[in-house]
Structure 1
């Protein structure tokens, strides 16, 4: 007997899925903003000639780049509260996990971007009397960030995919909402089909924006960092 598709029970729960999508974007946005800021700090520390700064930064970057995100999430949600004696909500645990994990990737993008700037830019800044931090802030970073935009956008897309793991600690994201709708309606096929389409639309649109930005930078003569 052929399966009878029926999307009406799923569509009746559209507000629940919409709230789940909003929560997904919330944790993704939080992790993205915090990850970029922390990533810049880690990159500058790793580029420092002082080993007591560069080595710890490098250690953090490598740990969070090489360990599974799900293990990191469980550690922050289940293990860290035992050490510090403070309970973490699913949102906080997810935001902290994905912020640090994203920062480890953004740090390498920042580092590559900064190192891609020609040495003459540093020499020119020094010749007009700029300190190292002034040259970095006024000359190097503006050029480097422009080259890094496509890589940042690609990482943001990957981050949104990774945040689906937060459903495992009962955060009400889109996947968690889908599980509830599926159990309520007994329509898992339709439910997860709709959720897959939602993710496809959101991520496809984001990827197209990233592609347009990269093409525009390419036409302007700016190389990009990946």
Structure 2
């Protein structure tokens, strides 16, 4: 292959790439915030003793876990505005699609954490006369969050990477900007290689953090 890499042309596009990176980070942060909070709510609803709450929630979770994220993004972007006959900002639609997808996966992570809470702790809550919301907020949530934290972080990394899918609906994230630059410059190898490195270096610190947390949890379990 007689191809010579030339990254010098990228100096004129630094501002565009930084703008796209900003959008990517904002998307990932907003979707993760939504996923962490809504995921726990969905977990509690899916474990509800009332079937009228449990069944629709489980159906919601399975739908978002068992359909492609790309399809969900496209559906939110094109179908919802047609259904409500109202324009919604594309960034908001991207956050909703990514956030709901993440919430479904986080709900399952939380469920494993809730089920790991010792029965003795719940019995102690009853003995102390704690109300259901107090038991959930002060006993179940902290323990479930600690147990499921590695999975939540891993899911968050996946959402950061999946945020590149919003480029398909013309949201000007890092991937969309890179695609535009590659089309204009006819230098796809350089720009896509650079973008791949950016995603890599954003994900690696969180991946290392997951390993650290897992090692500490394993050490605490062995004591």
Q: TM-score, normalised by structure 1?
A: 0.93
2:130 aligned with 1:135, yes or no? Answer: no
In structure 1, the gaps of 5 or more residues are none
Which residue of the partner structure matches residue 49 of structure 1? 49
The equivalent residue for 2:167 is 167
Equivalent residue, structure 1, for 2:63: 63
**5+ unaligned residues in a row in structure 2: which ranges?**
none
CA contact (8 A) 1:90 1:166 kept: no
Q: Following the alignment from structure 2 to structure 1, what is the Cα–Cα distance between the partners of residues 52 and 172?
A: 41
SS of structure 2 residue aligned to 1:220:
helix
- CA–CA separation in structure 1 for the residues paired with 2:74 and 2:129: 50
Residues 1:222 and 1:107: Cα distance change in structure 2 (over 3 Å): farther
> CA offsets per residue over residues 44-68 of structure 1, 9 Å max, x none?
1111101111111111101111011
Q: Which residue of 1 aligns with 2:125?
A: 125
Bigger Cα displacement from structure 2, 97-106 vs 1-10: 1-10
- CA distance, structure 2, for counterparts of residue 187 and residue 5 of structure 1: 9
Q: Which residue of 2 aligns with 1:19?
A: 19
Q: Displacement, 1:222?
A: 8.5
What SS does the corresponding residue of 2:221 show, helix, strand or coil? coil
Distance in 2 separating the partners of 1:191 and 1:74 = 25
Who is 2:72 aligned against?
A: 72
CA-to-partner distance for each residue in 1:50-87, whole Å, 9 max, x for gaps? 11111111111011110111111111111111110111
Alpha-carbon distance in structure 2 between the residues aligned to 1:72 and 1:212: 33
Match of 1:181 in 2: 181
2: CA distance between counterparts of 1:42 and 1:23? 27
Partner Cα distance (2:92, 2:156) in 1: 19
Shift of 1:197: 1.1
**SS of aligned partner of 1:41:** helix
TM-score after normalising by structure 2: 0.95
Q: Distance in 1 between matches of 2:222 and 2:30?
A: 29
Aligned match of 2:195? 195
State the Cα RMSD in Å.
1.6
Deviation at 1:18, TM superposition (A): 1.4
**How far, CA to CA, are the matches of 1:8 and 1:222 in structure 2?**
53
Give the ranges of 4+ consecutive aligned residues of structure 1 lying more than 6 Å apart after TM superposition. none
Q: How big is each residue's C-alpha offset from its partner over 1:3-57, in whole Å with a ceiling of 9 and x where there is no partner?
A: 1211000233122111111111101111110111111111111111011111111
User: Would you say the 8 A contact 1:30–1:95 is kept in 2?
Assistant: yes
Q: Which residue of 1 aligns with 2:36?
A: 36
Is 174-183 or 205-214 further displaced after alignment? 205-214
Q: CA deviation at 1:129?
A: 1.4
Query: How many residue pairs were aligned?
Result: 223
Q: What residue in structure 2 maps to residue 220 of structure 1? A: 220
Pair 1:156 & 2:156 matched: yes
